[in-house]
Amino acid sequence: MTGPTPLNSGEPSVLGSSGGAITLVEGSTFCLSDRVGDVEPGTAQGLFYRDARVVSRWELRVDGQRPEPLSVLSPEAFTARFIARRPPRAGAADSSLLVVRERLVADGLRETVSVENLGREPTAVTLELFADADFVDLFAVKEGREGHGRAEVMVTDSELLLNDRSDRSRGMAISASEPPTVLPGSLLWRVVVPAGGRWSTEILAQPTLANQRVSLPLRPGEHYEASEPGRKIEAWRDTATKLTTGDPLLTAVLQRTESDLGALQIHDDSHDGRTFVAAGAPWFMTLFGRDSLLTAWMALPLDVGLAIGTLQRLAELQGQRVDPLTEEEPGRIMHEIRRGPSGGLALGGETYYGTVDATPLFVMLLAEVCRWGAPADAVQALLPAADAALDWITHFGDRDGDGFVEYQRATDRGLINQGWKDSFDGINDVAGHLAEAPIALCEVQGYVYGALLARAELADEFGDAATATRMREHASQLRTKFSEAFWLPERGWYAVALDGSKRRIDALTSNVGHCLWSGIATDEQAAQIVQRLASPEMDSGFGLRTLASDMGAFNPMSYHNGSVWPHDTAITVAGLLRYRHIPGAVELATRLADGLLDAAAAFGGRLPELFCGFPRSRFAAPVPYPTSCSPQAWASAAPLLLVRSFLGLDPDAPRRTLTVLPHLPPRWGRVELTDLRLGGSVIDLAVDGDHITASNLPDDWRLITH
């Protein structure tokens, strides 16, 4: 490794963080706290707005003591109830004062603090909320670096005002419905609660940006279901497909998926409410090229509009010029956007382009949304962006003209590794030696293969036979070259990469599962890959490891070298079912999916970004990765890809066909998709074993089941 570790690569450090963190998220705003609801200073917790921490301390004290936590209820991703009690007084075994904090996140924070006296006589109680803000950029928090220190504090009769010392146009205003005593750094209430009585106050934390207070989309006393975030999630549910199964666990996981994806959506107010999805909380609450594209692909059974909005926004940000600082190049799809106080300086600018796979994935998704019934005019309007992306692949992605797409960062600020395994040590050989750039990843060649076939399909759709033929010929040539250059006949898998000397980086990784998903693998090679992926070195029992346990760099507690990523496993499952005719493929896919669902149960129904890759035989439950994002978009969407893959669900709206070739795991029982929208048609699909029904299927549609 040369130069400093990139700030959005690998695992972040968390200083003094306690376990059991609670993350609430709505759009690009999120709050990270402990299980009593406190944001502790000196940790990575806080309220984050526009990539900056606008609350770095938010601690409630009851009679000078920290409340004793009892439970946390989070019915939606943007709200939670923290249930606690006043610690028992000296000599007493129990407490009679219930403390409830109801928090809702939406461009700021609203918290209702209630105390209820369950005793037989009135009780006096002092409540004090300590608040501070350091206005630190998200990157700095992620790295555990020091910020500006405490805010500049101003006190009025009714508000506590916190201002950024380095940028006075940025701040935070904190007020309450029950008038507090406002002190420098805290709000104080002294109340007497009668026996059987209840007292409450509603607290607002309102960010200030450019000397203007952000208008919170929240009304006083409003229940979370009636709030703007609540209405937004209900509108999402009204238009999204309803998925139910005979397995209560899978149904609950799919319900959590729907809630989390709804909360992670970012609405583009300048384009009629167009939506795209943020990558995940806490560190990636912004548009990401790779993450947002793959999430949108997985979420197609729920909502095609999310994919269309993602493609449109990425097309607007597509590279136009050569800029080594941001790694922008003509036609390149960007990696991420950052809007914090540092303006993305850690990566050279607010929009950073250092990704090798988002560009072919863009073209793949465009053809896929066409198949799922996206409006033809919306697809056609994006064809120039798809062609620019393919031009980037040819003229910039293939750096040395060998027919493969490679990456090498342009400056020491960029990401060293620019595929999905983007930690500095994510690409290594059997012995554990790091690959030297420029690096050509195996899965990226598969994505390029998929992009070429996707563009051919789009050309067919719009009557361009010459382009369709040219793209298919290019794809066929690439498949042949890939097989020759990447296949390791003595090992039975593809090299994870070719390095700068065209040396095969020969570690066994989950990346080869992506080669099954894209279809670049030959049947003969896929058959051997299935055997290798089915080995205990790769299958942890809770999902597929990123790196086989007998490789030199294996570490089950690493970020990319032996951990389990749910989206990665789901993509491999989709790849296995693409090659369902190969012996053992369906069985392995079923085993991996069962493992993921069992992992989801252990995580309360929400799959995290990743977890440790210890074998299930050693630990009966998956071991959490300490700084894993949750909710995280492609982990949340992974169950949708599992459902689609086992259903063999493949619509082709332009040709009015719906293919369903199910291989459902026995535990799933009956699977139903209600209000599945394909173009202008709304279909109800039910699969129970081999029995398939498609209600409301228009007469001009054809159902293919074999």
Q: Based on the fold, state whether residues 199 and 341 are members of the same structural domain.
A: no
> Both 260 and 131 in a single domain?
no
Which CATH number covers residue 354?
1.50.10.10
Q: Does some domain include residue 39?
A: yes
- 135-147 pLDDT, tens digit each: 988 777 877 765 5
Neighbouring C-alpha atoms within 13 Å toward the C-beta of 538: 23
For residue 343, pLDDT over 60 is answered with: no
Nearest-angstrom CA–CA distance, 233 and 304: 16
- Domain check: are 574 and 644 in the same one? yes
Query: Residue 314: pLDDT above 70?
Result: yes
- Domain of residue 58 covers 22-231
Do the domain assignments include residue 694? Answer: no
pLDDT tens digit sequence for 191-248: 999 999 999 999 999 999 888 888 888 888 888 888 888 888 888 888 899 999 999 9
pLDDT score of 19: 46
Residues 369, 308 share a domain: yes
What is the model's pLDDT at position 494? 98
Q: Which residues of 675-701 are buried (b: 16+ CB within 10 A; e: fewer)?
A: ebbbbebebbbebeeeebebeebeeeb
Q: Is 123 inside any structural domain? A: yes
Judge whether residue 527 has pLDDT over 70. Answer: yes
Residue in 564, 566, 567, 544 with CA at minimum distance from that of residue 556: 564
Over 50: is that where the pLDDT of 17 sits? no
- Arithmetic mean of pLDDT, 467-491: 98
Is residue 677 pLDDT above 70, yes or no?
Answer: yes
Verify that 579 and 473 share a domain, yes or no: yes
Token readout for 241 is: 């497909």
Tell me, what's the pLDDT at 15? 29
Confidence at residue 244, expressed as pLDDT on a 0 to 100 scale: 96
Query: Predicted confidence band at 408 (pLDDT cuts at 50, 70, 90)?
Result: very high
410 and 527 housed in the same domain: yes
Positive or negative, the Cα torsion across 336, 342, 347, 351?
A: positive
Domain end residue (candidates: 176, 197, 231)? 231
- Based on the structure, what is the number of domains in the chain? 2
Residues 131 and 265 occupy one common structural domain: no
Q: Considering the domain boundaries, does residue 312 fall inside one?
A: yes
The pLDDT of 406-424, averaged and rounded, is 95
3-class secondary structure per residue, 97-136:
EEEEEEEEECCCEEEEEEEEECCCCCEEEEEEEEEECCCC
Of 231, 248, 270, the last residue of a domain is 231
Based on the domain organization, do 219 and 276 belong to the same domain?
no
Give the domain-ending residue among 208, 231, 254.
231
Same domain for 172 and 116, yes or no, is yes
> Is 701 a member of any domain?
no
Q: What is the pLDDT of residue 416?
A: 96
**Residue 693 included in any domain:** no
The CATH code of the domain that includes 91 is 2.70.98.40
Is residue 341 in a domain? yes
Q: Are 665 and 589 in contact (CB under 8 A)?
A: no
* Lowest mean per-residue pLDDT among 50-59, 162-171, 635-644: 162-171
Q: Are strands 265-268 and 29-33 parallel, antiparallel or unpaired?
A: unpaired
Cross-sheet strand order for the sheet of 440-441: 440-441, 497-498, 504-505
Residue 7 lies in a domain: no
| Tokens read off for 546 | 């990123």
Instruction: Tell whether 164 and 193 lie within a shared domain.
Output: yes
CB 187 within 8 A of CB 128: yes
Residues 47 and 141 in one domain: yes
Check whether residue 339 and residue 472 sit in a common domain: yes
